[in-house]
């Protein structure tokens, strides 16, 4: 299965299909020269990168390091009414929104037919609410009519396939990406899907909260069907919820669905038809334009077989109601206000805790960034990401790779053969910084004035066609999977790449005017996090080419897993909401990367000092400022409903524990703040996880 790891809690505008940039800067394996801690300009946050009034020094660092660093910020900051979460990344997004807003508004005056004019027309179509109201459901009627006309298993399979590049959902989804066994080629991946609630547990666990969510969901289904004039909405809503409950029963647990080896199950079209005969796969593949796909891969294979059987066993009328609702649900933001409001009331207010809908122009930019993002990306990076920032980022990455190389050499638990495999992978790891060298061509994408829903549908279809037409070609390793304004980063296991968009390389995460210690604690740990993903419990199962091939000896893997189990047990004990614990198994990959990233960044910081002692600033040592930078980079707040959803399905732990649950496994943190056994966060040395 495709493994693309991203940082969570650093909120991003939109994640586009997996892409990656050939490294623009050649990074040598030797130590690159840092800026020696000399600020090029005044720091954006405070004098040297941290606003000390954002701390709460009444809290002992050893009792609650997150609140010691961020307590003042936590007290003064409120989540905006139109948000489910808030962090420093939200401020970066707000600046990006302002930049993109200016670009989109000015694009309306660009020459007709140009990519920039398409951006302007796309944006204007979202803002033209009068046209949207006047058109009503007419733009969606062709798809709704196709659903109403379903009369055979082949018709149903074709309807499922159309959701791949259109509105709606189906119990089995498909996407295209690098083949994990043949990383020079593409493959079509089939995965479990089909739920309207965040995770299977929402259907299967009868807690008071889940019962509330299910009742609200059923009411929302009925309301949306009623707005569309669908008869017997109440009965159909009940049947749809019952169907999704049956789908949920067949889904793998989230922690099982992240396993590399069990989720790579290649099949031929004939084998797929024999193993999962409940769906007309010939009709599906033809409609999805996948008949020429070089390889089909089943992720949760046993679930897919059972979901196919469920498809055949479920009455056609129920599937038609299901597809109608999910088409309306996905299209609702582009339909008249009544549909948009109903969608927000459930998905925004009920499920995420948002108080008000985001301003329309912001949602327009979200849409364009998600479906046509590189069209505005070039202008964004010209304004927000300087060549100096890119060069310093490259120096930091080089230092971090050197640091991990040294740590591999020093790992007493690793056999020489495992070390060689790890070095090969580290040396071959491709680094993408800021933005792609070649921007995507949108010439064939048709955007029409006053046709919002049509524009969205054509943008979806354009991207799917772009992918399917090249599926038999060699993998394009110069392609990016995030747009430049995105406040996030990722590691692609299949391509052995780490990618850092310009959006995350902004203050306070990365600031050329900040103290070097703060930059290494914040952005350095982020870089280390992404590098180390290539060596976490799943990433280590891929070799330097991106192919699934475990180069570690059984002894080394066992030693590594023993340390990982300490983190699993530690995070299982955390209880963010009453009765709801962090899932240590689900979050282990991210927890491993957080701890490894911190250790790598700390060593890289020491390397960057070139043997010199860091200065004391405002009474704080370099090491203390390093850890302050790390904790500050994770400060965030999230509404309870949104947190509940993330705990059920997100492989990332809440930000609070990504600070307190990580630093207490790292001895230099204890040393920096003089923390002893009486501290609340203290973990005895023999119980700490140490991976590098």
**pLDDT value for 598:** 98
For the chain, what is the radius of gyration of the CA atoms?
25
Closest CA to 1 of 273, 304, 286, 269: 304
How far is the C-alpha of 148 from the C-alpha of 585, rounded, in Å? 43
Element (H, E) at 36: none
**pLDDT value for 324:** 98
**pLDDT value for 38:** 39
Q: What are 482's strand-pairing partners?
A: 15
How far is the C-alpha of 342 from the C-alpha of 355, rounded, in Å? 14
Q: Quick check: pTM over 0.85? A: yes
Domains and CATH numbers, the chain: 21-85+387-428+478-495+504-687 (3.40.390.10), 137-334 (1.10.1380.10)
Measured CA to CA in angstroms, residue 601 lies from 36, 471, 630, 679 at distances of 16, 38, 10, 25
How far is the C-alpha of 319 from the C-alpha of 666, rounded, in Å? 53
**pLDDT value for 41:** 59
**pLDDT value for 636:** 97
Q: Is 491 helix (H, G, I), strand (E, B) or coil?
A: strand
How far is the C-alpha of 134 from the C-alpha of 335, rounded, in Å? 10
pLDDT, mean over the chain? 92
User: Between β-strands 636-638 and 172-178, what pairing exists: parallel, antiparallel or unpaired?
Assistant: unpaired
Low pLDDT (below 70) residues in the chain? 1-41
How far is the C-alpha of 104 from the C-alpha of 82, rounded, in Å? 22
For the stretch 231-285, pLDDT in tens is 999 999 999 999 999 999 999 999 999 999 999 999 999 999 999 999 999 999 9
**pLDDT value for 272:** 98
């Amino acid at each position: 299965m495709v493994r693309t790891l991203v940082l969570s809690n650093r909120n991003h505008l939109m994640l586009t299909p997996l892409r990656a940039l050939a490294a623009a800067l050649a990074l040598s394996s030797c130590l690159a020269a840092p800026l020696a801690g000399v600020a090029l300009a005044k720091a954006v946050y405070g004098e040297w990168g941290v606003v000390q009034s954002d701390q709460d020094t009444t809290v002992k660092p050893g009792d609650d390091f997150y609140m010691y660093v961020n307590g003042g910020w936590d007290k003064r900051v409120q989540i905006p009414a139109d948000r489910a979460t808030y962090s420093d990344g939200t401020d970066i997004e707000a600046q990006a929104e302002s930049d993109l807003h200016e670009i989109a508004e000015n694009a309306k005056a660009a020459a007709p037919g140009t990519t920039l004019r398409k951006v302007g027309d796309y944006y204007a179509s979202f803002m033209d609410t009068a046209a949207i109201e006047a058109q009503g459901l007419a733009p969606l009627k062709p798809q709704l009519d196709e659903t109403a006309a379903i009369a055979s298993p082949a018709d149903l399979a074709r309807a499922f396939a159309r959701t791949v590049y259109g509105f709606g959902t189906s119990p089995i989804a498909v996407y295209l990406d690098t083949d994990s066994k043949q990383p020079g080629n593409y493959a079509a991946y089939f995965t479990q899907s089909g739920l309207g609630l965040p995770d299977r547990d929402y259907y299967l666990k009868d807690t008071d909260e889940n019962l509330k969510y299910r009742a609200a969901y059923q009411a929302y289904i009925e309301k949306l069907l009623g707005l569309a004039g669908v008869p017997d909405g109440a009965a159909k809503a009940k049947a749809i919820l019952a169907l999704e409950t049956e789908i949920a029963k067949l889904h793998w647990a989230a922690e099982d669905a992240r396993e590399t080896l069990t989720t790579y199950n290649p099949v031929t079209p004939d084998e797929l038809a024999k193993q999962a005969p409940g769906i007309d796969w010939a009709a599906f593949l033809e409609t999805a334009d996948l008949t020429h796909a070089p390889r089909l891969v089943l992720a949760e294979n046993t679930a897919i077989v059972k979901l196919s059987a469920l498809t055949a066993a479920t009455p056609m009328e129920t599937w038609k109601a299901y597809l109608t609702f999910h088409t309306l649900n996905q299209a609702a933001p582009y339909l008249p206000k009544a549909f948009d409001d109903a969608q927000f009331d459930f998905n925004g207010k009920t499920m995420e805790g948002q108080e008000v809908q985001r301003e329309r122009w912001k949602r327009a930019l979200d849409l364009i960034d998600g479906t046509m993002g590189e069209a505005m990306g070039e202008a964004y990076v010209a304004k927000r990401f300087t060549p100096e920032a890119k060069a310093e980022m490259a120096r930091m990455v080089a230092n971090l790779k050197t640091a991990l190389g040294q740590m591999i050499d020093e790992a007493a638990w690793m056999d020489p053969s495992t070390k060689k495999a790890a070095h090969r992978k580290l040396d071959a790891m491709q680094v993408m910084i800021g933005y792609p060298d070649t921007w995507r061509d949108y010439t064939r994408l048709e955007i029409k004035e006053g046709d919002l829903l049509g524009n969205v549908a054509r943008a979806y279809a354009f991207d799917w066609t772009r992918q399917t037409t090249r599926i038999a070609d060699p993998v394009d390793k110069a392609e990016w999977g995030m747009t430049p304004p995105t406040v996030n980063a990722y590691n692609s296991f299949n391509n052995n790449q780490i990618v850092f968009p310009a959006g995350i390389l902004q203050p306070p995460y990365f600031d050329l005017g900040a103290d070097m210690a703060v930059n290494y604690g914040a952005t350095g740990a982020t870089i280390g996090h992404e590098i180390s993903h290539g060596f976490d419990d799943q990433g280590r199962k891929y070799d330097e080419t991106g192919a699934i091939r475990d180069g570690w000896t059984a002894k080394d893997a066992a030693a590594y897993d023993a340390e990982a189990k300490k983190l699993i047990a530690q995070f299982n004990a955390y209880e963010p909401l009453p009765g709801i614990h962090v899932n240590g198994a689900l979050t282990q990959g991210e927890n491993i990367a957080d701890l490894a990233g911190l250790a790598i960044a700390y060593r890289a910081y020491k390397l960057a000092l070139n043997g010199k002692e860091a200065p004391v600033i405002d009474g704080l040592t370099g090491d203390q400022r390093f850890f302050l930078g790390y904790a500050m980079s994770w400060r965030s707040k999230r509404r309870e409903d949104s947190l509940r959803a993330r705990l059920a399905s997100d492989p990332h732990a809440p930000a609070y524990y990504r600070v307190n649950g990580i630093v207490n496994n790292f001895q230099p943190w204890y040393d920096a703040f003089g923390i002893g056994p009486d501290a609340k966060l203290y973990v005895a040395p023999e119980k700490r996880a140490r991976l590098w």
